[in-house]
Amino acid sequence: MIEVTDLSRRYGNVTAVDKVSFHIGRGEIVGLLGHNGAGKSTIMKMLTGFLEPNAGEIRIAGEELQTHRRQAQTRIGYLPENCPLYLEMSVVDFLDYSAALRGLDEKERPDAIRRAIFQTGLEPKAMDPIATLSRGYRQRTGVAQALLHSPEILILDEPTNGLDPGQIEHMRNLIRELGHNTTVIVSTHILQEVEATCDRVLILRQGKLALDARLDELTRGNFLQLRSDASAKEARGKLGALPGVAGVEFQNESDGISTFRLEARQDATRTAAEVAEAVVNAGWRLYSLHREERSLEKIFHEITAKEVTVDAA
């Protein structure tokens, strides 16, 4: 659905995006992460056609964005981080105006507006002036305008900004529901939002793509946690010699039970069976053995730890 090849953008002497490439298929929900200045907003603006790249190519549904800009934009719904709203308008009037700008036929607009209001939970505020809305309801209005034309691609910059916990859960459910048929890109500073909604994550560092991975594979890791009564010396000697084990790290000991962290050379599940058999054959007690789960927060900080922040996004 979206193909990006060697995308670059400079602001004067500052390179905001540097030769970034990725492909996003239909129905994927992808989190776009990075510190301030990593290039997230710049990439989103280029994907929507609001900003020209200095180099590289963007293809939307197989068509080059620069030569088919208007056609591509009809496929895209966009919520910028600070969505511009006309405060003197009511929610309904603003959505009607947005639908007209989108080119929706006058006969189609009422159904499109009703659908967007229902999807974003705006029913209680539909007739209210936007100036009277809380920050959370203003954010919902911004999302509603992005949904009016039932886009094939939805790009959301900080979609839960200003929402209360109940509204955040509603937004998560909406994103997951839309992801069944819509390609969704979510940029946020809240890592829990990515973990709760996304299938895949792209992490930017200083304008470059530092990571592109599925969340389930990324957080699962390739390490095992073992608790046994083996001594550190015994475990390092016997378990370290196993073909599937790349390393054995002693972590702590309590009440005669030692905890070890084992690095698997290839598939951690197969290595776990190999380790369990070795522990039993050695006559040690096996208290627990499981694959180590890594949080997205830990992975993100590992990747961005050495970053020097540049205000380019």
Q: What is the pLDDT of residue 229?
A: 95
- The confidence band for 306, taking pLDDT boundaries of 50, 70 and 90, is low
Which amino acid is located at 279 in the chain?
Answer: V
User: By the 8 A CB rule, do 23 and 57 touch?
Assistant: no
User: By the 8 A CB rule, do 284 and 257 touch?
Assistant: no
**CB-neighbour burial class of residue 80 (10 A; exposed 0-12, middle 13-18, buried 19+):** middle
Taking only the tens place, the pLDDT of each residue in 41-70 is 999 999 999 999 999 999 998 889 988 989
Cα-Cα-Cα-Cα torsion 183, 145, 196, 25, nearest 10 degrees, comes to: 0
For 121, phi and psi rounded to 5 degrees? 65, 35
Q: What is the pLDDT of residue 188?
A: 85
Answer whether CATH 2.102.10.10 is correct for domain 2-218. no
Give the start-end residues of each E strand in 105-165.
Answer: 153-157
Q: What is the pLDDT of residue 275?
A: 96
- For the chain, report the end-to-end CA distance as a whole number of angstroms: 24
User: Encoding tokens for residue 245?
Assistant: 């084990």
Nearest to 54 by CA among 94, 1, 11: 11
What's the pTM? 0.78
83 pLDDT above the threshold of 50: yes
Fold observed for domain 222-292: Alpha-Beta Plaits (3.30.70)
- The confidence band for 312, taking pLDDT boundaries of 50, 70 and 90, is very low
Domain boundaries, the chain: 2-218, 222-292
For 257, phi and psi rounded to 5 degrees? -110, 125
User: Encoding tokens for residue 288?
Assistant: 């627990």
The residue-averaged pLDDT of 255-262 equals 94
Number of Cβ within 10 Å of residue 202's Cβ equals: 23
Nearest to 289 by CA among 259, 267, 254: 259
